[in-house]
Amino acid sequence: MNTAGKLLAGAALYCLVTLSVLAQESVPGKVYVAEIIGGVTFTVGGKVMNLKKSDSLPIQGARIETAVAASVILVYSNGTSIYIDEKTIVEIRKFIQQPFASGVDTAVFEPSVSDTLASVTQGRVIITTNELASGTSMIYLTPQSQVKIRGKEVVIEVQDQETRIYLLSGNATVTPQDAGPDSLGQPLQGGQTAVVTNSAADSATIQVTALDQNYVNSISLQVAAAERAQKIVVFQTVSPPDGGPPEIQAKSVVSVNLPVPLTVSPSTLRTGD
């Protein structure tokens, strides 16, 4: 084989090895239950699980539903936390990430590239992230929109024919669900609110306004609780002694009691921005 042929063969082998490694590096992510109040239903594969504080469990494929006056704070193994308010339904369609060693402060930096695809069909969630890794994808779907999050504090609220995205800090891109494949979406910066509405007869529209400080104040306890949750747990990837696939494990940093956020129905928070 001539030199050119050897180079091509070597390049092909390198690509195959790289793809194989990348495929092996994608492992199912987990969540840590930082706080739980009231009735929360957590279903995976048709099985309802009884959540307890400090639980660590797989999240991909899970459906979480909160009852009236209930809430739960989960910390993903990439360091992102999600506060799920009362009367909310969330489905985690996908959450995988690459393995990572211990020693990364996940409250500050994402330890490895991750891929999150979730949906919020009703209610409200508050998402707080660390510094996300380059290549990470975090998308939350609603009946009206697709929200691509790059950090760092995002509130998604779904009611009736409307989705509201409050970007407290960081940046995100909001795209209507009925937008074409070439749509670039509407970029959002910290301090902005996007309202996405649709009806049976009309296409979805996006209206962007300045963030209402009264609304920010009304959810300050919930945001603080979500941020604090990121600091009470660390994660690492370990290889089982039997040679099985790598697994992500969670470890509590300290035993703390998160500030109990007052649960307020989203319908009472509209300020007519």
Rounded CA separation 159/121 (Å): 8
Q: What's the confidence (pLDDT) of residue 2?
A: 54
Residue 266 is assigned to a structural domain of this protein: no
Rounded CA separation 244/102 (Å): 19
Instruction: Please state the domain count of the chain.
Output: 1
Q: Which structural domain, as residue segments, surrounds residue 130?
A: 24-259
The one-letter code for the residue type at 213 is: Q
Residue 270 is assigned to a structural domain of this protein: no
Rounded CA separation 183/56 (Å): 38
**Residue (of 86, 125, 141, 119) closest to 226 by Cα position:** 125
Q: What's the confidence (pLDDT) of residue 198?
A: 78
Residue 169 is assigned to a structural domain of this protein: yes
- Helix extents (H) in the chain: 3-25, 213-218, 220-229
The one-letter code for the residue type at 153 is: E
Kindly give the confidence (pLDDT) of every residue in the chain, 273 residues in length, as a single tens digit, with 9 standing for 90 and above.
554 454 344 444 334 333 333 444 789 999 999 999 999 999 998 899 999 999 999 999 999 999 999 999 999 999 999 999 999 999 999 999 999 988 888 989 999 999 999 999 999 999 999 999 999 999 999 999 999 999 999 999 999 889 999 999 999 999 998 787 777 899 999 999 999 997 655 677 899 999 999 999 999 999 999 999 999 999 999 888 887 888 899 988 865 555 555 555 555 455 445
Residue 3 is assigned to a structural domain of this protein: no
**Residue (of 54, 180, 82) closest to 138 by Cα position:** 82
Residue 184 is assigned to a structural domain of this protein: yes
Could you tell me the CATH number of the domain that includes residue 218? 2.60.120.1440
Q: What's the confidence (pLDDT) of residue 22?
A: 42
Residue 4 is assigned to a structural domain of this protein: no
pLDDT in tens, 33-82: 999 999 999 999 889 999 999 999 999 999 999 999 999 999 999 999 99
Rounded CA separation 33/41 (Å): 13
